[in-house]
């Protein structure tokens, strides 16, 4: 299938009508959220996918801003024919709270003073950021996400989403992330912060309208950038090649090796697009992120109420968020019987592979999202029979409606049992006349969001050919049959 761009896009801004109360109890007034959307929300409002960006990302995930040379930061997987297929999904990406790309952060004006917040901006958490995204979704009329996806710090937001709003997340895809920041991650963040705060231009965070702490921020980015690559990718990309010369210069005046020039270039360009205080606040939120609540609960406990199905993606060469951190997430999810899949991207790129390995990312995310669920194949107009009916009633309904399975419904509309053509034959042989004498009371049921393979497995295990699909109140909303599944597989 041809993969295309979403084309020209614009970042929009939503001023939140109410104050925001943060996790630390502080209150933020006049918060705005910058966001972009791609594709169309369907009429059931069930096809929304939220993208959570990483440390230096923003709301511009895909497509082109007029006059810019580069597309959005995750254009690789967002667009027609790509994993986040905008012909199917309504894709949303917003800039995080504390950021500097349109959402309120330390560089925004403090309504109390009329000046940029600087260090008066409160210390925010990943949970605060997710809460703001939820407000954006309410504004867009979305009460349930088809999926939430993000890499690195974006993956932390994904985990927080599944925990904070379990009923709102159908599928969660945390990529190259961790359930808590490791000492190594905190250490690198701290070195970056120190680079910023020891730049005299930082001026205790009060530098707006003056020279910004460019040297510090650039250095922070250079340090960060090294952690996003890998030893192997650096060998491949730069080797020991010198920059524009063949001999050492025996001085410190310029970048001698190509890798030095590359880091300096990326440090310098970062300064043009990022705010030093945002770097401090976001890295602090990353450091504080810890689903084990400072080790006071096992990780499995943190995922207790989670309802989403998970695809956890790790990267083989990632030494900043090593694969063991993904495995910890998977084990904790599995301990709660949560449907979780793991895929490891085989790559030399290091942590950045989630932004670069187009083929593997599109394939793994695309196939996970398009995995069919029971709701896609179930029969919606289910013929049922009331508790208290006779075997003869059941036989008649089966004949007239051409069905072999009848869910039995009690007075309060709940599923009370199931009766099949097989049971009716038994009634004839044994001369039973009441439905209750032949119906099976322990009904094996399925849920709307269950993956097809699970329903098929249950049918196979119990040698039955149909499962009633029930909602959370045990009301029958459909029926999934072996025939329905065969038809689906036949046309795949
Ligand atoms: N394959 C056939 C079928 O699905 O009815 C016959 C085999 S099966 C062992 C027959 C028994 O399974 C019947 O007593 C029927 O009430 C029961 N049964 C059918 N669907 C069921 C379900 N979803 N949950 C529990 N029992 C079920």
User: What pLDDT shows up at residue 57?
Assistant: 98
Pocket test of ligand 1: the residue of 385, 406, 417, 418 to mutate, having most ligand atoms within 8 Å of its CB, is 418
Q: Give first-to-last CA distance, the chain, whole Å.
A: 15
Pocket test of ligand 1: the residue of 382, 432, 464 to mutate, having most ligand atoms within 8 Å of its CB, is 464
pLDDT band at 485 (very low <50, low <70, confident <90, very high): confident
Question: Of 238-252, 379-393, 448-462, which gets the smallest average pLDDT?
Answer: 448-462
The yes-or-no verdict on residue 492 having pLDDT over 60 is no
Overall average pLDDT of the 41-60 stretch:
96
Distance 411 CA to ligand 1 centre (A): 23
Pocket test of ligand 1: the residue of 440, 441, 455, 469 to mutate, having most ligand atoms within 8 Å of its CB, is 440
The yes-or-no verdict on residue 389 having pLDDT over 90 is yes
Mind listing the pLDDT tens digit for each residue in 68-86? 999 999 999 999 999 999 9
d(CA 436, CA 441): 9
User: What pLDDT shows up at residue 139?
Assistant: 98
The yes-or-no verdict on residue 2 having pLDDT over 80 is no
Distance 464 CA to ligand 1 centre (A): 5
Mind listing the pLDDT tens digit for each residue in 301-323? 999 999 999 999 999 999 999 99
pLDDT band at 490 (very low <50, low <70, confident <90, very high): low
Site residues for ligand 1, CB cut-off 6 Å: 405, 418-420, 422-423, 440, 443-444, 463-467
Residue nearest to atom 26 of ligand 1 (CA): 443
Overall average pLDDT of the 34-60 stretch:
96
Distance 423 CA to ligand 1 centre (A): 8
Overall average pLDDT of the 142-155 stretch:
98
Q: What percent of the chain has pLDDT over 90?
A: 89
Overall average pLDDT of the 386-412 stretch:
95
Q: Where are the domains of the chain?
A: 12-371, 376-490
State the Cα angle at 292 between 289 and 298, rounded to 5°.
160
Taking the CA of residue 465 as reference, the ligand 1 atom at the shortest distance is 4
Q: What is the CATH number of domain 12-371?
A: 3.40.50.1820
Q: Which residues are catalytic?
A: 152, 318, 351
Distance 290 CA to ligand 1 centre (A): 47
Taking the CA of residue 439 as reference, the ligand 1 atom at the shortest distance is 16
CA distances to 49, 145, 232, 424 from 476, rounded to whole Å, are 28, 23, 56, 21
The closest of 345, 313, 291 to 181, measured between CA atoms, is 291
Burial 437-471 (b: 16+ CB within 10 A, else e): ebbeeebebbbbebbbeebbebbeeeebebbbbbe
What letter would DSSP give residue 142?
A: -
Residue nearest to atom 3 of ligand 1 (CA): 464
Residue nearest to atom 1 of ligand 1 (CA): 464
| Mean pLDDT taken over the chain | 95
User: What pLDDT shows up at residue 486?
Assistant: 80
Mind listing the pLDDT tens digit for each residue in 193-238? 999 999 999 999 999 999 999 999 999 999 999 999 999 999 999 9
What class does CATH assign to 376-490?
A: alpha beta
At residue 359, the 3 state secondary structure works out as helix
Q: What percent of the chain has pLDDT over 70?
A: 99
Taking the CA of residue 418 as reference, the ligand 1 atom at the shortest distance is 16
Distance 467 CA to ligand 1 centre (A): 9
Backbone dihedral region for residue 63 (phi beyond 0: left; psi -120 to 50: alpha; all else: beta)? left
d(CA 395, CA 75): 58
To the nearest 10 degrees (0 to 180), the angle between helices 126-139 and 276-288 is 100
Mind listing the pLDDT tens digit for each residue in 424-454? 999 999 999 999 999 999 999 999 888 888 8
Residue nearest to atom 7 of ligand 1 (CA): 464
At residue 377, the 3 state secondary structure works out as helix
The closest of 361, 327, 325, 362 to 177, measured between CA atoms, is 325
Taking the CA of residue 442 as reference, the ligand 1 atom at the shortest distance is 25
d(CA 326, CA 311): 10
Mind listing the pLDDT tens digit for each residue in 163-182? 999 999 999 999 999 999 99
pLDDT band at 1 (very low <50, low <70, confident <90, very high): low
Distance 376 CA to ligand 1 centre (A): 22
Overall average pLDDT of the 478-491 stretch:
79
Pocket test of ligand 1: the residue of 420, 430, 456 to mutate, having most ligand atoms within 8 Å of its CB, is 420
Distance 421 CA to ligand 1 centre (A): 9
Higher-confidence position of 473 and 183: 183
User: What pLDDT shows up at residue 489?
Assistant: 65
Distance 439 CA to ligand 1 centre (A): 9
Residue nearest to atom 6 of ligand 1 (CA): 464
Q: Residues 98, 124: contact at Cβ < 8 Å?
A: yes
d(CA 55, CA 156): 11
At residue 23, the 3 state secondary structure works out as coil
Mind listing the pLDDT tens digit for each residue in 331-351? 999 999 999 999 999 999 999
Taking the CA of residue 440 as reference, the ligand 1 atom at the shortest distance is 16
């Amino acid at each position: 299938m041809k993969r295309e761009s979403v084309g020209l896009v614009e970042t929009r801004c939503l001023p939140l009508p109410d104050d925001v109360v943060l996790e630390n109890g502080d209150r933020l007034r006049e918060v705005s959220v910058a966001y972009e959307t791609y594709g169309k929300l369907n009429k059931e409002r069930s096809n929304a996918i939220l993208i959570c960006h990483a440390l230096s990302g923003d709301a511009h995930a895909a497509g082109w801003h007029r006059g810019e040379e580069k597309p959005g930061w995750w254009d690789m997987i967002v667009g027609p024919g790509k994993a986040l297929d905008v012909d199917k999904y309504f894709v949303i990406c917003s800039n995080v709270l504390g950021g500097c790309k349109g959402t309120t952060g330390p560089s925004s004006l403090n309504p109390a003073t009329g000046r940029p917040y600087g260090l008066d901006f409160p210390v925010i958490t990943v949970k605060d950021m997710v809460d703001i995204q939820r407000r954006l979704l309410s504004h867009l009329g979305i009460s349930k996400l088809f999926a939430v996806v993000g890499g690195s710090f974006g993956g932390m937001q994904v985990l927080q989403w599944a925990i904070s709003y379990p009923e709102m997340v159908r599928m969660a895809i945390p990529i190259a992330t961790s359930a808590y920041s490791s000492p190594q991650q905190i250490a690198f963040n701290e070195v970056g912060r120190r680079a910023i705060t020891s730049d005299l231009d930082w001026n205790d965070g009060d530098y707006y309208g003056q020279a910004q702490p460019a040297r510090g921020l650039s250095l922070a980015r250079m340090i960060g950038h090294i952690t996003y690559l890998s030893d192997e990718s650096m060998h491949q990309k730069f080797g020991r090649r010198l920059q524009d010369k063949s001999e050492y210069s025996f001085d410190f005046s310029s970048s001698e090796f190509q890798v030095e020039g590359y880091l300096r270039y990326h440090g310098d360009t970062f300064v043009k697009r990022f705010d030093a205080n945002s770097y401090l606040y976001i890295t602090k939120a990353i450091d504080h992120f810890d689903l084990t609540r400072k080790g006071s609960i096992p990780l499995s406990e943190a995922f207790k109420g989670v309802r989403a199905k998970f695809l956890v993606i790790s990267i083989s060469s990632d030494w900043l968020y090593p694969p063991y951190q993904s495995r910890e997430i998977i084990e904790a999810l599995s301990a709660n019987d949560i449907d979780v899949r793991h895929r490891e991207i085989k790559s030399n790129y290091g942590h950045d592979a989630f932004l670069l390995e187009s083929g593997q990312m599109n394939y793994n995310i695309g196939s996970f999202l398009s995995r069919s669920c029971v709701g896609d194949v179930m029969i919606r107009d289910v013929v049922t029979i009331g508790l208290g009916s006779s075997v003869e009633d059941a036989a008649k309904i089966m004949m007239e409606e051409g069905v072999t399975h009848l869910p039995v419904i009690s007075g309060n509309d709940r599923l009370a049992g199931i009766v099949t053509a097989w049971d009716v034959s038994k009634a004839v042989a044994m001369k039973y006349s009441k439905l209750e004498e032949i119906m099976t009371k322990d009904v094996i049921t399925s849920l709307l969001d269950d993956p097809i393979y699970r329903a098929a497995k249950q049918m196979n295990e119990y040698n039955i050919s149909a499962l009633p699909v029930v909602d959370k109140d045990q009301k029958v909303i459909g029926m999934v049959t072996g025939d329905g599944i065969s038809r689906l597989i036949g046309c795949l």
